[in-house]
Amino acid sequence: MIKLRADYVLTLNDKYEIIENGEVLFDEKIIAVGKDLDDSVPAEYLGKNSVIMPALINTHTHLEFSSNYTHLEYGDFMSWLNSVLEHREDLFHDCKSECYKSAIKEMKKSGVCAFGQISSSGNDLKYLKHSPLKVVYFNEIIGSNPAAVDMIFQDFLARIKESEEVQNDKFKVGLSIHSPYSVHPVLMRKVIEIAKAKNYPIQTHFMESKAERKWLEKGEGEFKIFFEKHFKNAKPLITPIEFIEQFKNTNTTFIHCVHANEEEMQKISEINGYVTHCPISNRLLNVGLLNLESVKNFSIPYNVATDGKSSNYSLNLFKEIRSALLMHTDLHPKYLAKDLIKAVTVNAAKALGLNNGSLEEGKDADIISFKLPNGVENLELLPLQIILHTEKVSRLYINGSEI
């Protein structure tokens, strides 16, 4: 057993309890959190202005693109998408073992204990199956050509089977339906049936751009030009509401939702869905900013993720939530900071179906510690000060072992 003591213990329990001069006792699981715990175990004090809190969870990444730095075009969603298609194979080819190790190292330094990886090819499995961090590996399906449905699905099943063979306590399987504009409804239903049968979490990109809405609602706009260029006779095959309804009785996270309207947010709430906010990605692709107040008004638990380096310059989750804090100028920073800390811990754990994200008895001992430059007199401001002054952590424990 290990017992750590810090000036501030941020529990992220239902009461958002912050314990001054608090302790955490753990082995693989958290045994107790509080003060003066179990005198038979000596406590290690982590130093002046030290903080202990749950490790961070990066719910949505595309590590296959981690070799990208200056290849892709930012500032416009469709220009970016076309540049992704142009450079995709080269970027995938250039990201081998050291590329994945570097990406994982960057997340680890910023206190990430677990991440959701969207895998479109399966080629990343050999690099991620022995990751020191926890992985929820989302096998992604993409394809809207009815003539190719059977072939796409058989390849998808083979990738699922391969990833299932390496499952362990740190590697879990999930499924991803790319988006409502890029996956045939027949494929959607088949994937959702598998998710229900095996209780796998699902992720899907939804309403990231204005172009997506114009295409799905009217069959017009920039996506019409895009599909005419790449696929003949393409047409929208499902409405946004019909798409959301497909995910009833699943654990589904809708990524981005920047242009989701109130009816769609209400439907996501009704099916108990989650929303992932990727603020830096949204800014670089110039698609707008998720209305976090609307998300909260519909009682949708949101989480924050970096997305991949195809649309970000960093996988540091503290940088991501700091960016969110500074972008959402209509929200009070003190209260937004509390929500953003929840978004990368307890909310993220629920979205990925993990037993961590808070410091409570029985949860996995996934813990980080670090020091602030000074003490914090008003504990209500601790989450804000953490976001402003933290980019890397001193210690990271996963399942009770220091990484």
* CA gap 66, 69 in Å, rounded: 8
**CATH node for 2-55+357-402:** 2.30.40.10
384 three-state secondary structure:
helix
**Among the listed residues 293, 289, 339, 345, the one whose alpha carbon sits nearest the alpha carbon of residue 317:** 345
Strand pairing of 367-371 and 302-304? Answer: unpaired
- Ordered by start, the domain boundaries in the chain are 2-55+357-402, 56-352
Catalytic residue among 106, 140, 208, 212: 208
pTM: 0.97
Q: Which two tokens stand for residue 130?
A: 């022995």
Instruction: Tell me: pLDDT of 232 over 80.
Output: no
Give all strands (DSSP E) within 179-327, no chain letters: 202-206, 252-256, 274-277, 302-304
Q: Which of 140-149, 189-198, 218-227 has the highest mean pLDDT?
A: 189-198
What's at 110, amino acid-wise? S
Q: Which run of H or E residues covers position 57?
A: strand 56-61
Q: Which two tokens stand for residue 77?
A: 């969603």
Architecture, CATH, for domain 56-352: Alpha-Beta Barrel (3.20)
Task: Tell me the pLDDT tens digit for each residue of 73-125.
Answer: 999 999 999 999 999 999 999 999 999 999 999 999 999 999 999 999 999 99
Give residue 396's Cα distance to chain centre. Answer: 19
- Give catalytic status of residue 208 as yes or no: yes
Task: Tell me the pLDDT tens digit for each residue of 346-378.
Answer: 999 999 999 999 999 999 999 999 999 999 999
Q: How many helices (H) and strands (E) does the chain have?
A: 15, 16
Q: Which two tokens stand for residue 383?
A: 């989450």
**Alpha helices by DSSP H, 199-260:** 210-218, 222-230, 240-245
